[in-house]
Structure 1
Amino acid sequence: MGNADSVVAQKRLARFRPDERPVIEGTFDRLHGTGASGKTGKVLSLDTLKMTMGKMASESMIKRVFQGILSIDPGVPLPPGDGISREQLVIFLADILRGTAEERAPLVLAMADAAVQTLAHRGHLRAWQPDRMGDGPQGVKLLAEQLTSELKSSDQNTCDIPCLEDWLFRIPTMALFLELLIGEGLEVGLPSRPPPTLLPPCQYAPWNDLRCLLNLPLLMFLSPQLPDGHNAPWRLLFSTNIHGESFTRLVANCKSRGPTVILVKDTKGHIFGGFASQSWEVKPQFQGDSRCFLFSVFPYMRGHSRARPRCTTYGSPQLSGDEDFKLETVEVWGVGKLPEEQEQDEKKKSVLDADPEVQAIMEMTGKTMHSQGLREPEEDEEQ
């Protein structure tokens, strides 16, 4: 790269070892097909990127990658033509291969945004109405940042194949994104495997009167953390926007209604909440179990605690804007079966169904489960 090249690109290039830099610098010429001539005024077109990546990604994803690279400011005047410059490509490769979570976030942002758009256009919203929900674009950005923060670099501080495999293994949401995008984008439908579910069903919400804090990216973030996962129906139990600011009304609406997710927004704009694994009850004792957790939605979307001050129960940092804060909105969603429904389901199951470990132990010890073939066939819950 010459003296007139971007200082930004040169700093990014310095992240690589001396023997790696020629590979990074030579990528532009290899893709452009000019060899090592180093001619100036050349750009990479979208068609060139399609030819290179066509076997690995859909056209829509290639367009997103192209636009992402094209949006990079290299710090120098861009050559004529509607395409990617050499400096932009170097900065892009450095951010992907040697970048921080923040620098890698745009690609995950594109992937998450594509997943949200696919859900909206392919009819997988499961009764949710994004136009009556929270800030979707902001939610996509926060979800991308949260997912990227879990990307662990290898010993050489690079994002290689084992690094990505580990990421996909630990973050199942990413695998679901990929499966949805590839399956829907390439129209690959397997009878034995229905399209992946990224959203829980919305069982009830008064959409005509509601403007809720939830958005689709937040649902994608929260639902995998819940015990019932994506299949648990959500229903609105309380919202200050609809039911007013009565604590008595809040308790009455949530009492004995099964597991819940509560969302709180303060006047500073911070949004946070928690999951209660058991029904609300008016008792003098604390309630809950190890499945309960707190989470933050804005300004950061994460579900763990890493800073002070910490609360005594969860070890959580301060989630509100200030230690003393005023509430702007409170929402409570029921996120599981009602207690009576759960009790009925448990009565239908045998001891072996309720405790699969017991069944496994009996099988290993050679015990015959005589009742296994004598049960009545279970009814299909989908009917």
Structure 2
Amino acid sequence: MLTERKVSWWRGGARRCCAPREKENREESSSAAAAPPTSPPARAAAAAMGNAQASASSTSSPRFAMASRAFSRQELDDLRALFVSLAAQSQTGGRAISRPVFLEYFGIRGALGDRLFQLVARESGGGEGVTFEDLIVSKATYERGTRDEVDEFIYQLCDVTGDEVLERSDLETILASIRETIFSENKEAGEGSNKRTFEAFINSAVFSKDAEGVARKSMSLSDFRSWCILIPSLRKFLGSLLMPPDSGRPGFQVPALHYPENISPDLLLLNKEYAWHIGGGFSQQEVQEWRLLYHSSLHGQSFNTFLGNVTNGDAQTVIIVKDTEGFVFGGYASHPWERHSDFYGDMKTFLFKLYPEASIFRPTGANKNLQWCAVNFSSDSIPNGIGFGGQPHHFGFFLSANFDQGHSFTCTTFTSPALSKTNRFRPEVIECWGIQTKGALDEKAELVKGTVLERFKEDRNMLKLVGLANASD
């Protein structure tokens, strides 16, 4: 039962996460006492702050005292200032943050915002709203607690009805709130494709728990953790809801997709929602700007054209395939596509599924068979094409050099299942995106273009890729 686990977590969470700050707070309190403010306004502000803190400490619960130790004195002062500002707007006499002000500040739309407010306000009972104690205790556990404590908080957060049963309808509500919070201004995707995309996220969830009085199985905490591993953007989003909205909260970023103006977004496999999902495997810098390098409908289903476009493009790429069965999947390559006779790459590489299920599969460390790019080899043991994971002729994901067929098998490199409906597939659409950090496009625009030397370097890179560079010397 959620209730049984909730009590032990809520009472013990703040205690475990607070100890490292205790000594620091004592030292900072001593130094603060030894250096009183000098100017009249500063003295007045300090006096008001001191009175407020003294009042809070005189009525605070032990959990609040322990939770306070999770923060430095400066952090507590900043949180107090935030609370005072929001409470002043709440018409509660400065005693609490009202629900409308709370939701407006943190910017969480839909039922998820209401559930967050309910959980944060429960320390005081939520009569008037979120008190300062509520805010500190919640943030101490939610942001400074152990992984298990944070997971349990988020698990309860997703139980939007509060009935202690996490069902598919709860997940639909959570994803609807995410759609409204992050993608409400996204004009590039229609409502139909948007809904279809989010259904793929739910399709990857497992419901294995038998709940009393419920006919269908529900999602256990273990099921929920597994789902968050498959969709890391979801875990990042749900884990950062109480962060300041202007701080670049993890899970809120959606890559800016750059592609020619004459291309309809309907032609692209990658939409904003899928980009958000794939971006869960990246750092915030890598999430920011992606550029279309190759699309089979625009450039022709040509391996040579693909290699030419990605060679002059970006080192990090995302390849997406839609097969003739309608399955959409792909891989992230952390290294450039260069001619090799064996596997290469690093542990940043991963595979993913987009439709009909959405999942990300990271390297397990079982082997180093991460990225494959073989061009113009005549040996049967070195299949020409590009791929990820597994073994030659038995890849986790592989496209032949003709771009007319591929295969996907279960592989230990990523602990990934077959990405396609059947192990062998025929691609209908292939597209590739270059990953760029913010400002990279502007920097490239400033480079000298079209010089003879640069043309020579580009041509030589292409020759090197196809294994002919030495022959041209």
TM-score (norm 2): 0.41
Return the structure number with greater strand share: 2
